[in-house]
C-alpha cells in the first residue's frame, strides 16, 4: 500500500554526486532504503545487477512497462530507458521504511503528478553542484564515458539546473557529509525521527 506513504524524490544533474551522497547517508542511517531502478543502459565497470540497477534488455523493459510494473519510466539523455519498479517500493513503504527515489527530472515530475492519485506524500529534493564549472569538471573527470555521452549529459544538466525551482528543497553538494546530513534532516522531519 502506498496510501499515506512518504517518498523522497532526489534529482540532480549527472556528475553532481547524488550516488555518493546516498552512500554517505546510508552509512550513517542504514534504515533508509534507496529504490533500485531498472535501466536498459549497459553496466559501468563495478556496477552490480540488483545493487546499482536492474539491467534489462529493451525487450524486458518494454514487457515490464506493459505489465504495469513501473511507477514511472523515462528515456534519459535520449539514450536509455529507466524506470522505478512499483512492487519493491510498496513493500518498503508499507512497513514505514524511509524511501528514496533517485530519478531524473522527468521522473520527478511524473511522480509528483501521480502522487495525489496514489495517495503518496512526496518531498522533492534537488541536489545542486557548487557551480556549473564544478559540474563540468566532475563529469570530465569521471572518465567512464565517451565524448558523445558526456555531451548528452551536459545538455541534460543544463535543462535540469534550470528546473531547480520546481523542487521543494535544494541541497548544494559542496561537501558530501554535509549534504548527507541535510538529507537526513529532511527524512527525520518527514518521518518524525531523531535528527
Contact residues for ligand 5GP (CB under 6 A)?
14, 37, 41, 72, 74, 76, 82-84, 102-104, 106-107
Residue 153: name the closest of 16, 14, 42, 40 by CA.
14
- Phi, psi at residue 83, to the nearest 5°? -155, 150
CB of 13 to ligand 5GP, least distance (A): 7
Nearer to ligand 5GP (CB atom), residue 13 or residue 98: 13
Torsion (CA) 98, 102, 73, 109 in degrees, nearest 10: 90
CB of 12 to ligand 5GP, least distance (A): 7
Nearer to ligand 5GP (CB atom), residue 37 or residue 182: 37
Other CB atoms within 10 Å distance of the CB of residue 47: 14
Instruction: Give strand pairing partners of 42.
Output: none
CB of 131 to ligand 5GP, least distance (A): 19
Q: Where are the beta strands (DSSP E) in 135-181?
A: 169-172
Phi/psi-derived region of residue 68, left when phi > 0, alpha when psi is between -120 and 50, beta in every other case = left
Contact of 20 with 135, CB cutoff 8 Å: no
DSSP classification of residue 44: P
CB of 5 to ligand 5GP, least distance (A): 17
Contact of 72 with 107, CB cutoff 8 Å: yes
CB of 32 to ligand 5GP, least distance (A): 17
Amino acid at each position: 500500500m502506498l496510501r499515506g506513504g512518504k517518498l523522497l524524490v532526489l534529482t540532480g544533474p549527472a556528475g553532481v554526486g547524488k550516488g555518493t551522497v546516498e552512500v554517505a547517508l546510508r552509512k550513517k542511517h542504514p534504515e533508509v532504503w534507496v529504490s533500485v531502478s531498472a535501466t536498459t543502459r549497459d553496466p559501468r565497470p563495478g556496477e552490480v545487477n540488483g545493487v546499482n540497477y536492474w539491467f534489462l534488455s529493451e525487450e524486458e523493459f518494454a514487457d515490464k512497462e506493459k505489465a504495469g510494473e513501473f511507477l514511472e519510466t523515462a528515456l534519459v539523455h535520449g539514450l536509455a530507458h529507466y524506470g522505478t519498479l512499483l512492487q519493491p517500493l510498496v513493500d518498503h513503504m508499507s512497513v514505514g521504511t524511509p524511501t528514496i527515489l533517485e530519478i531524473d527530472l522527468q521522473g520527478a515530475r511524473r511522480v509528483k503528478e501521480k502522487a495525489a492519485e496514489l495517495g503518496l506524500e512526496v518531498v522533492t529534493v534537488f541536489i545542486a553542484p557548487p557551480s556549473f564549472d564544478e559540474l563540468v569538471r566532475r563529469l570530465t573527470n569521471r572518465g567512464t564515458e565517451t565524448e558523445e555521452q558526456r555531451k548528452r549529459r551536459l545538455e541534460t544538466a543544463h535543462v535540469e539546473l534550470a528546473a531547480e525551482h520546481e523542487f521543494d528543497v535544494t541541497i548544494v553538494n559542496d561537501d558530501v557529509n554535509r549534504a548527507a546530513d541535510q538529507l537526513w534532516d529532511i527524512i527525520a522531519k518527514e518521518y518524525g525521527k531523531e535528527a
